[in-house]
Amino acid sequence: MELQITLIIGAILFGIGLYGALSQTNLVMIMMGVELMLGGCMLNLVAFWRYLHPETYSIQMFVLVVMTVMALEAAVGFAIATQRFRSKGSVESEEASDLKE
């Protein structure tokens, strides 16, 4: 029971994060959505560890990796945003159609 509730909470977080990633124009906001999605994933992982395999620590390892990825992705993302801001003057995704065919 707790497992399902926790998983559902994770799912909801993931959904909100997805919504934000899709609907926001600003790159930074999109990244925030992605953060939320990753947070939901992490919650799922932790729930699985706690309720299914409490003795297996590779799951916690996985969580650490995901956390790392979160940080790194934020860092690189901000670097890109900086560079974009320098060349184009804004980080709106609607104006970022340079790759359009």
Partner 1 sequence: MTLQLILIIIFGLGAIWFGWRVFMTSSMVRSALSLLASMAFLGFLFLALEAEFLGVLQIMMMATEMSIMAIFMMMYMMDPGGMSGMDMSHQKKPSIIAASVTGALVVLVILFTNWGSMAVTVPAAARQNHDLGIEVMKRSMMIFETAGVTILVAMIAAAATALVYKKDMI
Partner 2 sequence: MILLLTILVPLLAALVVLVRPAKAAWIGLAGGTLALVGALVLWLSIPEDGFHQVTWSGLPGLPFVLIADNFTMMLLLVVTSVACFIFIYSRGYMAPEPGKTAFWSVMNLFLAAMLLLVLSGDWISFVIGWEIMGFASYRLIATWHDQPGAQVGANKAFMMTRVTDMGLYLGIFAIILISGSSAISAQPVHQLYVWAGLALLVAVMGKSAQVPFQSWLSGAMAGPTPVSSLLHSATLVAAGVILLLKAFPLLPVSVLPWIGAAGSITIILAGLTAVFSDDLKQMLAASTSSQLGFMLLAIAAGYPGAAAAHLIAHAFMKSSLFLGAGIWQHAYHSTRFDDIKAGGRKFKVTFYGFALAALALAGIPPLVGYFSKDAVIAAGFNTDPAFWYVAAALAGALLTAIYMARSARILWKSKGNAPEKIHLLNWMRAGMGLLILLVLAGGLILQLVIQRMDFELPHSTAAIISGLVVALAGLGIGWFLMPDHFRSKTTTFIRGHYSLAGGYRALIVKPVLQLAYYFNRFEKGIDYIIMGTGSLFFNISKTSHRLDNFLDKLVSLVGTVNLGAGRLARWLDDQGLEKSLYQLTVSVRQMGQQGRRLQSGLVHQEMMWSVVGFISFLVILIISIL
Size of the site for partner 2 (CB under 8 A): 15
Classify the C-alpha dihedral 36-41-45-48 as positive or negative. Answer: positive
Measured CA to CA, the distance from residue 16 to residue 84 in angstroms comes to: 27
**Which one of partner 1, partner 2, none interacts with residue 89, CB within 5 to 8 A by kind?**
none
Min dist CB 58 to partner 2, Å, is 23
The footprint of partner 2 on residues 29-58 (CB under 8 A) is 30
CA distances, 31 to each of 8, 14, 16, 66 (Å): 22, 13, 13, 15
Min dist CB 100 to partner 1, Å, is 16
95 touching partner 1, by CB under 8 A: no
**Which one of partner 1, partner 2, none interacts with residue 88, CB within 5 to 8 A by kind?**
none
Length of the chain, in residues: 101
Measured CA to CA, the distance from residue 101 to residue 75 in angstroms comes to: 29
Binding site for partner 2 (CB under 8 A): 18, 21-25, 30, 93-94, 96-101
